[in-house]
Amino acid sequence: MMNIFHIFLLFCYFGFLCFGGGNALTPLYIDHLVNEQHWMTLQEFGDLTAISQMTPGPIGVNAATFFGFRRGGIPGALMATVGLLVPSYFLVILALRSLKRWEKSFLVRGIMTGIHPATTGMILAALLIFMQMSVFSTEIPWKTWLGIAENASQTEFFIRPLAVLIFCAATALLYKGKVSIMSVIFGSAAVGALGAAVGLS
Amino acid sequence: METDLSKLPRGRVLWLLFFNFFKIALFVVGGGYAIILAAEDIFIRKLHWLRDGELMDMLAIIQTIPGLMAGNAAIYVGYRAAGALGALVALAGVAMPSFLIITAVAMGFSHLPMDNVYVQGAFIGVRSALGGLVLAALLRTWRKMMTDWFAYLVAFLCFGGVIFCSLNPAWLLLGAMAAGIVYLKFTCGKIAEANLAEGNKQA
pLDDT, one tens digit per residue, over B2-17 is 447 778 888 899 999 9
Kindly list the domain boundaries of chain B, sorted by start residue. 2-113
Pairwise CB contact (< 8 Å): B79 & A126: no
Q: How would residue B198 be classed by pLDDT, with cut points 50, 70 and 90? A: low
Judged against a pLDDT cut of 70, whether residue B85 lies above it is answered with yes
Residue A159 pLDDT: 86
**Chain A nearest C-alpha distance from B10 (Å):** 19
What is the DSSP secondary-structure string of A145-195? HHT--SS--SSPP-B-HHHHHHHHHHHHHHHHT-S-HHHHHHHHHHHHHHH
The continuous run of DSSP H or E covering B169 comes out as: helix B169-202
pLDDT interval class at B197 (50, 70, 90): low
In which band, very low, low, confident or very high, does the pLDDT at B66 lie, cut at 50, 70 and 90?
confident
Domain borders along chain A are 2-102, 106-197
**Who's near A68: CB < 8 A, 6+ residues apart?**
A7, A11, A76, A77, A78, A79, A80, A81
Q: Which residues of chain A are within 8 Å of residue B29 when distances are taken between CB atoms?
A: 56
pLDDT in tens, A29-50: 888 878 887 777 777 777 777 7
Nearest to A107 by CA among B80, B53, B183: B183
Task: Give the residue on A whose Cα is nearest the Cα of B55.
Answer: A116
- Which tens digits make up the pLDDT trace of A126-181? 898 888 888 888 777 777 777 776 666 567 788 888 999 999 999 999 998 888 88
Contacts with B71 from chain A: Cβ below 8 Å: 58, 60-61, 84-85, 88-89
Q: Which residues of B are less than 8 Å from A61 in CB distance?
A: 68, 70-71, 94-95, 98-99
Output Rg (C-alpha) for chain A, integer angstroms.
21
Average pLDDT estimate for B156-167: 88
Per-position b or e across A48-83, b if 16+ CB within 10 A of its CB: beebbeebbbbbbbbbbbbbbbbbbeebbbbbbbbb
B165 vs B2 pLDDT, higher one: B165
Interface confidence (ipTM) of the complex? 0.84
Q: What is the mean pLDDT of residues B105-125?
A: 76
All residues of chain B having their beta carbon less than 8 Å from the beta carbon of residue A124 are 138, 155, 159
Cβ-contact B87, A149 below 8 angstroms? no
- Measured distance CA(A68)–CA(A84) in Å, rounded: 11
State pLDDT tens for residues B23-39.
Answer: 998 888 767 888 899 99
Share of chain B above pLDDT 70, in %: 87
Distance from CA of B104 to the nearest CA of A (A): 10
Residue B109 pLDDT class (50, 70, 90 cuts): low
- Pairwise CB contact (< 8 Å): B184 & A24: no
pLDDT at position A167: 93
Choose among B40, B169, B186, B168: nearest CA to A119: B169
